Amino acid sequence: PSSWRGLRRRLFMVEKVRDANTIGLVVGTVAVAGHREAVNRVRALAKAAGKKVYVISVGKVNVAKLANFSADVDTFVLLSCPFGVLLDTSSFDKPVVSLFEAEIALNENKEWMAQAGWTSDYTQFVNDPTISLSTRTDDAPDVSLVSGRVRVRAVEEEEKTEGGVSTVALWEAGNYFEARSWRGLDDSVAENQECESSTAILEGRKGRAAGYENEQRK
C-alpha cells in the first residue's frame, strides 16, 4: 500500500539525517509565525548531535538552487509553511526533509510511533518545553540502518598548549569555504577600481568545432 511506502520513506529520511555530518537548513518562508524559533531549534538540535548547520535562503526552492550546495551539504531540512512541504524529492541530489523528520532524527528524547501520525506543522513541537537538548555523553554505539556502519559522533577538537591546558579549537563556517579553490564570483571587483577587471568581454570563436575561421586550413 502507498501508506506503507510513505512510512518507509519517512523512516529512510530520518536515518539520512542521522547519517549526515552537515545539514543545510533551507528557509523557504519567513511569513510563518515561529520561523525564528524553528531555526534556533534546529541549530540547537544539530549542535547537541555534533553536526554542522548552514542556514540557506534561496527563495522558491527548486532542484537547481539546492544543487549549488550539494557538494557541501549532506541533507537539507526545509523550513516552510504546512502547504510548502515537498512530498516528492526524488529529483534532488541530496535528501530534502521537513522539520518533523529532523526533530525525530536529532532529538534523542523524542519518541515517535507510526500510529502517532506525521505533521507538516512544525509549530506543534518547535516550542515543546519538555524536550531536553542536552548533549549526549554516553558511549553507546549508534549503527546506521541505511549503511550498516557505526556512526562516529563529531566532537569538538581540543588542542594541547605548552602548559598542558586544553583549549577548544574555534571553528567558523567561513573557514570551510576558505579552503576551497573556488568560492564563487568576486563581487568586490566592481568596487575596487585598482583591481584588474575580471569581467572583460572577449570575442569568441566563429564557425564549427570541425574548423573555426581563425584556424589554418590543412
Q: What is the pLDDT of residues 57-95, one digit of tens each?
A: 887 888 888 888 888 899 999 887 766 666 677 788 888
Does residue 97 form part of some domain? yes
Amino acid 204: pLDDT:
80
157-166: per-residue pLDDT in tens?
433 334 444 3
Report if residue 196 sits inside a domain: no
Is the residue at 53 inside a domain? yes
In a domain, 171, yes or no: no
Q: Is residue 112 part of a domain?
A: yes
Predicted confidence band of residue 207 (pLDDT cuts 50, 70, 90): confident
Q: Do the domain assignments include residue 192? A: no
Domain range for residue 39? 2-124
Would residue 34 be called left, alpha or beta, if left means φ above 0 and alpha means ψ between -120 and 50 degrees?
left
Q: Indicate the range of 119-123, 144-148, 192-196 predicted with least confidence.
A: 192-196
Q: Is residue 8 part of a domain?
A: yes
Residue 25 lies in a domain: yes
Based on the structure, what is the number of domains in the chain?
1
- Residue 28: which pLDDT band, with cuts at 50, 70 and 90? confident
Examine the pLDDT at 115 and tell me if it is beyond 70: no
For residues 1 and 3, what is the distance between their CA atoms, to the nearest angstrom?
5
Mean predicted lDDT score pLDDT of the chain: 70
Q: What is the CATH number of the domain that holds 33?
A: 3.40.50.11860
Alpha carbon dihedral 75, 76, 82, 85, in 10-degree steps, equals -80
Question: What's the pTM value of the predicted model, to 2 decimals?
Answer: 0.61
